[in-house]
């Protein structure tokens, strides 16, 4: 039995620095909601399986060089190509859990030291995409992130970049129009964080019909 037979699903985004535990938490969350009888789909960006996603994957693995604007727009295009199916699922009562979204998109590009992409410029291609009903920001200090294991080999996985990304994330979540952002202390244990996440998500799923139809990012 599902609880949302006549209502729409919720769009829940999980954001944060590398090693904040986003992917593990998204998996736990999706499983728990399914066990409770909700219909759930788990999506992650970048979605490396599409033709655009393959260009992004090559870039991240250092197999190709791309202009900063160009790769930025590919990340955004990768969300736009998924937008319709997300909208359809939500309309059909399926809640969609998204691992990284527009906030990562804007913040990582603007954090690049050698580029002159402003946060404001970087946000523009996101305007009009499905707007999350809830965004969970998994907050972790750069020191704790570093304690969790060495950096990977992909582009952006270095100290300087992660510090700038953290600062920009924090400046974004303080903007007044982003009232649907919920900051989660991701420095706690996996189990504790999972509990802290579940509560606001269930609350959000209960309230989506009061919000009305899925909104668009502005
Ligand atoms: P992943 O580790 O979650 O697969 O993400 C790969 C990298 O891509 C990560 O460093 C964050 C970065 N990224 C962007 O630069 N722009 C985006 O729009 C997204 C979704 C991720
Ligand atoms: Mg990564």
d(CA 155, ligand 2 centre) in Å: 9
Q: Read off the pLDDT of residues 173-208 as tens digits, 9 standing for 90 and up.
A: 887 666 689 999 999 999 999 999 999 999 999 999
Query: Could you tell me the CATH number of the domain that includes residue 178?
Result: 3.40.50.300
Q: What is the ipTM of this complex?
A: 0.98
Q: Read off the pLDDT of residues 9-59 as tens digits, 9 standing for 90 and up.
A: 999 999 998 889 999 999 999 999 999 999 999 999 999 999 999 999 999
Integer Cα distance of 121 and 53 in angstroms: 22
Mean pLDDT to the nearest integer, 85-92 = 98
In a domain, 144, yes or no: yes
Share of the chain above pLDDT 70, in %: 95
Cα–Cα distance list, 64 to 46, 54, 59, 61 (Å): 16, 11, 5, 8
Q: Which residues line ligand 1 (CB under 6 A)?
A: 18, 45-46, 60, 75, 100, 104-105, 108, 156
In a domain, 111, yes or no: yes
d(CA 108, ligand 2 centre) in Å: 12
What pLDDT is stored for residue 174 in this prediction? 80
Instruction: Decide: 100 and 12 in contact? Cβ < 8 Å.
Output: no
Of the ligands numbered here, which is closest to the C-alpha atom of 106?
Answer: 1
The number of CA neighbours under 13 Å toward the Cβ of 110 is 20
Candidate of 98, 108, 111 to mutate for ligand 1, largest count of ligand atoms within 8 Å of Cβ: 108
- Give the total number of structural domains in the chain: 1
d(CA 18, ligand 2 centre) in Å: 6
In a domain, 25, yes or no: yes
In a domain, 141, yes or no: yes
Of the ligands numbered here, which is closest to the C-alpha atom of 73?
Answer: 1
Who contacts 197 (Cβ-Cβ below 8 Å, separation ≥6)?
14, 25, 29, 136, 184
What pLDDT is stored for residue 1 in this prediction? 42
In a domain, 97, yes or no: yes
Strand partners, 184: 138
Q: What residue numbers bound the domain in which 82 lies?
A: 11-211
Of the ligands numbered here, which is closest to the C-alpha atom of 19?
Answer: 2
Question: To 10 degrees, what angle do helices 159-173 and 102-111 make?
Answer: 130
Q: What is the DSSP string of 45-63?
A: SS-TTSHHHHHHHHHHTTS
Overall pTM surpassing 0.90 (yes/no): yes
In a domain, 170, yes or no: yes
A 10 A CB-CB count for 1 gives: 5
Closest ligand 1 atom to residue 102 Cα is 18
Share of the chain above pLDDT 90, in %: 81
d(CA 199, ligand 1 centre) in Å: 26
Residue nearest to atom 10 of ligand 1 (CA): 156
Closest ligand 1 atom to residue 23 Cα is 3
Instruction: Mean pLDDT check: name the lowest of 116-120, 133-137, 172-176.
Output: 172-176
d(CA 71, ligand 1 centre) in Å: 11
In a domain, 6, yes or no: no
Q: Quickly state the pLDDT bin for 5 (edges 50, 70, 90).
A: low
In a domain, 216, yes or no: no
């Amino acid at each position: 039995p599902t609880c949302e037979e006549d209502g729409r699903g919720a769009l829940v985004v999980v954001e944060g620095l590398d090693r904040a535990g986003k992917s593990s938490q998204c998996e736990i969350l999706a499983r728990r909601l399914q066990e409770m009888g909700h219909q759930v789909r788990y999506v992650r960006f970048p979605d490396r399986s599409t033709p655009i996603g393959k260009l992004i994957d090559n870039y991240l693995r250092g197999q190709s060089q791309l202009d900063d604007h160009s790769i930025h727009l590919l990340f955004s295009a990768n969300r736009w190509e998924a937008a319709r199916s997300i909208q359809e699922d939500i309309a059909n009562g399926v809640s969609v859990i998204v691992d990284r979204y527009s906030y990562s998109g804007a913040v990582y590009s603007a954090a690049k030291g050698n580029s002159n992409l402003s946060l404001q410029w970087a946000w523009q291609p996101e305007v009009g995409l499905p707007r999350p009903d809830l965004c969970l920001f998994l907050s972790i200090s750069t020191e704790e992130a570093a304690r969790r294991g060495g950096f990977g080999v992909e582009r952006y996985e270095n100290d300087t970049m992660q510090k700038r990304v953290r600062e920009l994330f924090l400046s974004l979540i303080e903007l007044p129009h982003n009232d649907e952002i919920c900051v989660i202390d991701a420095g706690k244990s996996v189990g504790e964080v999972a509990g802290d996440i579940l509560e606001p998500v269930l609350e959000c799923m209960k309230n989506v019909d009061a919000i009305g139809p899925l909104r668009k990012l502005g």
